[in-house]
Amino acid sequence: AMARLTILHFPDPRLRIKARPLPSVTAETRQLMDDMLETMYAAEGIGLAATQVGVDQRVLVIDVSEGRNEPRCYANPEILSRDGTERSQEGCLSVPGYYEEVERAEFVRFRALDRDGNAIEFETGGLLAVCIQHEIDHLDGKLFVDYLSDLKRRRIRKKLEKEQREERDRARDSVPAI
């Protein structure tokens, strides 16, 4: 069975943890990957890193396909080389409601373990390359807002903190008296 996990929102300090590599891909790792996929699809995201759901492991899931039916699961992902530069609009499930231009490598050579623990390596560009870079950043405790100006990042932080406070207040107000 799959479970939906809670996605942490900026500026939660747990998003700044540098995730640890896995010694191997186990049944627990595959369960985590499946839960992360369910969570990502439910949130209509195209990528999700384990740190975004409060898990300190180097695991990420991605699906950049049109039909949302080509899930990719990676453990211990690493970028071996980068080539070219490209600017594109990015959003993030941990920074809801914000889309900003970020400059990244246009092509990446990438290595990881797949869902079965097999070592894979490939080169890619386009949205998949952007997504891989964005998700690996998460595993290193870095968010796309870190590429923005201090002013922009502070503004986003204040607004999200306010929304989170209001959400907590609403939750408190809806608790029935006993």
Active site residues: 135
Compute the distance between CA of residue 176 and CA of residue 107 in angstroms, rounded to an integer.
54
Question: What HEC string does 22-53 produce?
Answer: CCCCCHHHHHHHHHHHHHHHHCCCCEEEHHHH
Query: Which residue, 167, 160, 169, is CA-closest to 9?
Result: 160
69 vs 177: CA distance, rounded Å: 45
How far is 35 from 1, CA to CA, in rounded Å?
9
